[in-house]
Structures are given as C-alpha cells and as structure tokens.
Chain A
Amino acid sequence: MSEYNDILNQFREEEPPIIELEGVSKAYQKDVDAIKDVSFSIKKGEFVFIVGKSGSGKSTLIKLLLRAISPTKGKIYVNGRELSRMHRTSIPKLRRKIGVVFQDFKLLNDRNVFENVAFAQRVIEKSAREINRNVPAVLSVVGLSDKYNSLPNELSGGEKQRVAVARALVNNPMILLADEPTGNLDPKNSWEIMTLLGEINKRGTTVIVVTHNEEIVNVMQKRVIKMENGHLVSDVRKGGYENET
C-alpha cells in the first residue's frame, strides 16, 4: 500500500495546485493590512488546516478564496484561474466549485433538512429529478438519512453542521472550505464532524479547515498553515497546532 501512496503522492506533487496564493496582501484601510504577502499552494486532494488567533487573517483568506473581496496586492489562482482577472459573472461558477461550511451553520430555519440541502441544487438550476436523486445520496453520506423532514430547530448542533456539510457537498465541489466548523459543537460532535470531513477528503475532495481547535489539529496530523497578524508564519506538512517552522 505504501508503494501506491508514494506513487500517488508523487503524482500529486507534479499536478498543478488547485489553490495558489502569490504574495497576497489585503488592506481594508490604507496601510493596515489584514493579510500581508501571503504565499502558499494547495494540491488537489489535500487536507489543510489554517490556524491562528482571531484577527490573524483567516477570515480574510476565506473571503479572498470565495472572491467576496479582491487582494490589494498579489495573485490568487483557483483551479488555474486567476481570481482578480475573473469577470464578475464568472464568480458564481467559481463558488460552485467551492463548498463552504460555517461555524453558525447558516441553515434556513423555515425549511426542513431536505429543502436546506436541495436549496444548493435549486440555486444552480438542477431539475427536480436530479435533486431527488442527489439530496438523499448526500444525506446518506453525512448520516442523516432519517432526518429528511426535520426542521433545523429539531436538530442537535452536530446534526445541523452535518446538514451544512451536505449542502456544501451536494453540488460536488472540488474544494470544501470549512470556517470553524466545530466552533459551536461539543467535543463529541466536533470529532464526528472532523471524521466526516476526513472521509470526504478521502473521496478526493480538497478540504481546507479554518480552526483554532488545538486538539483536533494536533490529533489529525494534517498539513497546518499558521497565520499570525496577517502573516503566514508556518506551513507544516504533517503538524500540530504549535508546530514551529
């Protein structure tokens, strides 16, 4: 098996990165950089933690990757396309390649589990037949096959986050971006969600998790990019929260 892993890793090394940042800075106000001169690349199929304290620039990074904002300096490539050169009408297509999961779940409380997940498909104009096929499949992946008709307020925090993950996955994104996905969950549910994200990664989806949950980062031993005051201070291939460069 290890031989295959080496071959696969070598193949991945040669592949162009799915995400690449080249000297990216973002200033919301003049001379106050939220992130400064950040460069890194992420290969297809990687699992990456981005860690750092509040105000370290993690949220800015997410906004930049979703092209909700543009960098003041530098270039960002997603799947080979430079984001700042992208016409605004192409932005929705970019976002369909990136599934996003948030700390506060961002579910529609007036719609049941099925409709919350189906919503992502309706937005990209999928047919009812496709929705009826894809939504149950993804709900099965996240272990919510028995909760189709439940409303969000009838679910536990962990279940809500599973719905959010299902919604992010249903459109088959290349990248899954999770912003503090365990921030509102107890340790048990946190581990369940992280295990789920690990499984999704094994199926080939690139997973980026922004977190400051030290325990999870330390135990999972994945690549860790650490941000501090807007600077990238370390990038460790298999590391923990406090790894040094």
Chain B
Amino acid sequence: MFNEFFSRQDLLLIKPAVLLALFGCGILLTDLLHERRHKYLNAVTALLGLGFTGVQLALIQRAMSAAGYSEVSGFSGGLVVDGFALYFTWIFLIATAIAILFSVRYLEVENEHHGEYYALMLFSLVGMYFLATAMDLITLFIGLETMALSVYVLAGFLRGDRRSNEAAMKYFLLGAFSSGILAYGFSLLYGLTGSTNLRAVADALVARPSGDPVVYLALITTATGLLFKVAAVPFHQWAPDAYEGAPTSITGFMSTAPKAAAFAFLLRVFLVPLAPLRPAWEGLLVVVCVLTMVVGNLAAISQNNTKRLFAYSSISHVGYMLLGLVAGNETGLKGIAVYLLVYVFMNLGIFTVLVALRRKDIIGDEIEDLSGLFFKNPVSAVFMLIFLLSLAGIPPTAGFLGKYFIFLSLIETRHYVLAVIAVVFVVVALYYYFRLVVMMFMREATDPERLNISPGVAVALAITLAMTLVIGIYPEPFIRLAAGSVLVPFR
C-alpha cells in the first residue's frame, strides 16, 4: 500500500541527498573517534561523501540519457531532476569540495578543528540539492532553511572571535527576516492559486485577469525574499558584515555554493510560477540590476578589508548575472549558467590564496597583508593576478566568457543602455582589482612570515587555476553543458 506514494523512482531521485545526509551524520559520529591531530580525517570522510554523491548523480544522468528523458519527476510532481537541476548540483558539489580542501589547515590555525564543520557543510548541500530540484513551494522553503541554518552556524564557527559571533548574529537575524517575507509571498501565492506545486501555481496565475493587486503583492514579497537571498541591492546590507566576520574559508564557501543555490532557487521561481508575470517583474529587475552594479562596484573601491572588498565584488557580480534574467532569452539564461560556473572557480581561487595568508598571529584579511606577496611567494601572487583578471573579465581567462554571453544576450534583446552601463562598470571593477595587484607586485613585504601552503590548499589552487584557464581557452564543452541546463520559461 506504500508503493502508491513512494516508488523506486522517488528513491533514486533523492538518493544524492540521502547520501549527503548519511555522510553528514557519519562525520558527527566518527569525529568522536579521531584524536585531536587526526581531525583532517573528517575532511577525508566529507570528500568521500561528495565523491559518492557525484557518482550517484552521474548514474542518474546516464540512466536519463539512456532512456532519452530530458527530465524525470517524482513525489507526484513535487521534485524534478532535469538538466538545470543536475548542472547546479554539480556546481554545488565542486564548490563544496574545493572549500573543504582549503579549510583543513585554516581550522588548525584557528584551533577550532571540529567534525561539525564538515557535517554542517554536507547538510547545507542537502538543502541546496532540494533548492535545485524541488517543484513545490514547501519543499523549496524547507530546503532553503536547511541550507541557511547550516551556513549561519558556519559563519559563527569561530566562537572565541567577536567578529565571527557578530557576523553569525547579523546573518541570522536578516536571513530570518527575509525568510519571513518570502514565506508571506509564498502563502499569498498559495492563497491565490490553491496549490503549492510550481506548475499548478503558474497555470492558475495565467488564468487570472491582469492587473490584479493581490498578484502584485505576492510578486513583490516573493521577489524581495529572493533578492535578499542573492544579496542584490537594496537588500545587500547583510553581505559585507557577514562575509567579513565569518571564518575566511566559510566566506569563500558562502560566496559560491549557497550563492549558486540561491540563484537556482531564484531562477526556478521566476521562470516557472512567476513567468506569467514577466511584464510586471522585468522593470523591477532592471532597477535592481543597475543599482546592484552601481552600489556593488562603487562601494568596493573604498574597502580596506579584502573580505569586505570581495563581498562588494560578489554583489556586483550578482548584478551582472541578473542581467541575463532581464534579457531572458536562451543566450541570457545560458550566460547565467556559464557565469556561475566560472565565478565559482575564480572566487574560490581568490579565497584559497586569502586562506593561505592566515598564519599564526597574522589574520591576513587587510589589503596591506597582501603587500609584497610577489616577492614572498611568486607562484601564488601570479595565480591571484590571473583570478583577479578573470573576475574583471579580461579575455583569455574564463571570466570573459561569462560576461560575453550576458552582454550578447542584452544586445540581442535590444537592451543597449543596460549593456553600456554594464561595460562601464567593468572598468570601475578593474580599478579596485588592480589596487590589490599593485599591493602584491609593487610594495615591500610588511611581514617576513611565509605563506601557509598545505597540500589541500595546493590542490585547491591547482584545480581553480586550471579551470579558470581551461574554460577561458577551450570553452566549447562547458558552453554545451550550460546550454543543456537552460530552463524553459513557463508559457
């Protein structure tokens, strides 16, 4: 009698999340067995869990392509695994794996090496998986909260550090507040349509007469909640404080995997249930995009803390990515997918170097701490230069490719003014990225202490640099992957 509600196919579709949750619980238990100096074994377990999940994901992918399905849904339409979901899940897995690689030595230096860190990372991945696959308002919301709760705790993981506590508190309060607004929007959508399934919501909204004020109320509250989660201006104030106070390894993680997950969530909600309201939200989004690019880039100029600077830089990148949604054609959506993939690698590369700057007694998150890096450790300085060039979007690097598709989509859809504004702010971004370059290459070193390059950091650096260059020089396979992930807007 149970088969009616839970089939083998349902089990197959949630298997990646089940594996992640099991490995998370496993880490909590095996952590007790490891001695203090063997805590790195927790990271090995976590990476093993990510490996198993990746294999499971590849198996699902192969079964789907063997059977010729482009999407499979389960739980009576509450969950769907399609190209979009698979692509984003791969991004989450890769970003988390790299973040785990550079966390080990950092946590040892901070003297807060506990298994809970890795377990919470895996639990947040469970939430992300449901953000990418869920087709139901309730599942989406619970997935979001699972991810967010884990990241709040991770942001406050350095319990002895006041800044870390403050970051966690601020992040938690504003996150809870924005979730409240989002829940209000979802409840209005449910009240208007009588269903929590995204496609049923879209069907019911199409049938509504246009200009209905309650529909606008639902749209605005939902959009506010979503834009809060991706830290778009004017809902960005939490990001710099949370990024600055959080442990550097978690700042790197926060600015990639959860950000990509929030984007998956935003795209899914805007392109399925809210797609019929496109004329209403397009103008709203244009204003948000322009503000995000302007405020993100201008505020980054005057920052003296590298983590704060990259917080504002990540805000401005959100502005570029949202432009792809404004254009809304296939190029634009493909552009967002490419941009996010590229952004994950280059941003994690930057944070790998920043993590290596944290040594005993040196916090390493002021811009001055980068000075003379070229003379101390030429390899990491050159790597950092390449990542910065990529963030700015200079040709042979991967960052150019992301911006290229976004600009192309804007021109295809005749948003010339927006394209011009976007290009102008690329120049502004160059300025503050090159402030760091000047520090690294033209200043004397202020402290003689060597960099902290552990094996994990070295591997993370190698992977991120290789991907930043490979995607930039030979982009075809990655563009094909991204094209397979484009979500067809609901009509």
Q: Do A and B come from one complex?
A: no
Binding site for B on A (CB under 8 A): none
